């Protein structure tokens, strides 16, 4: 029961964080001169290089993928 409640809280927090990242996706992160979306997509690329059963997508996914 406790695990189910924690999962619900974690899911809500993840949704809020992802929404905020998406809202700021084109914001340039100083001093790196990369956008929030660039960082998110780079992290997703690294995660996809790990052995797992799912596809990790960044904030912006092209229509061709």
Residue 20, domain extent: 16-42
**What does the alpha-carbon distance between residue 57 and residue 36 come to, in Å, rounded to a whole number?**
14
Neighbour-count burial for 18-49, b at 16+ CB within 10 Å, e otherwise: eeebeeebeeeeeeeeebbbbbbbeebeeeee
In a 13 Å sphere around the CA of 12, the CA atoms on its Cβ side amount to: 6
In this structure, is residue 57 part of a structural domain? Answer: no
**Helix extents (H) in 1-65:** 2-23, 36-48
How many domains does the chain divide into?
Answer: 1
In this structure, is residue 24 part of a structural domain? Answer: yes
Render pLDDT for 13-35 as a digit per residue (tens, 0 to 9): 888 998 999 999 999 999 999 99
In this structure, is residue 28 part of a structural domain? Answer: yes
Which pair of structure tokens corresponds to residue 2?
A: 């406790």
| pLDDT higher than 70, residue 4 | yes
In this structure, is residue 30 part of a structural domain? Answer: yes
In this structure, is residue 11 part of a structural domain? Answer: no
pLDDT at 63: 67
Question: pTM of whole model > 0.85?
Answer: no
């Amino acid at each position: 029961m406790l695990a189910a409640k924690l999962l619900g809280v974690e899911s809500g927090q993840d949704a809020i964080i992802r929404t905020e990242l998406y809202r700021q996706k084109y914001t340039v992160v100083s001093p790196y001169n990369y956008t929030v979306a660039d960082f998110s997509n780079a992290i997703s690329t690294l995660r996809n290089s790990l052995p797992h059963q799912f596809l990790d997508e960044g904030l912006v996914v092209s229509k061709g993928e």
